[in-house]
Amino acid sequence: LKGIPCKVNLIPYNPIPDAPFERPPDERVLKFQEVLLSRNYTATLRDSKGRDIGAACGQLRASA
């Protein structure tokens, strides 16, 4: 990102059944945001709604 004016939206992964990935711990996401902010990038943490009912970003496609 060096030299590229940008805004970073951080959206933690939303787990789906049988996927080999896991949602990172909140502490890890916040630490990554801190790293970006310390380097003068705009970094916004976004949270998907509907995660508790399996309807967050990426979860509905997995069930279709």
Q: What tokens appear for 14 in the block?
A: 């939303």
The answer as to whether 23 is a domain residue is yes
The answer as to whether 39 is a domain residue is yes
Number of domains in the chain: 1
The answer as to whether 43 is a domain residue is yes
pLDDT single digits (tens) 27-39: 999 999 999 999 9
More confident residue, 63 or 23: 23
**What is the average per-residue pLDDT within 36-48?**
90
What is the span of the domain harbouring residue 53?
A: 7-63
Cβ atoms of 29 and 46 within 8 Å: the answer is no
The answer as to whether 2 is a domain residue is no
Query: What's the predicted TM-score (pTM) here?
Result: 0.69
The answer as to whether 34 is a domain residue is yes
More confident residue, 35 or 55: 35
Residue type, 61: R
19 pLDDT above the threshold of 60: yes
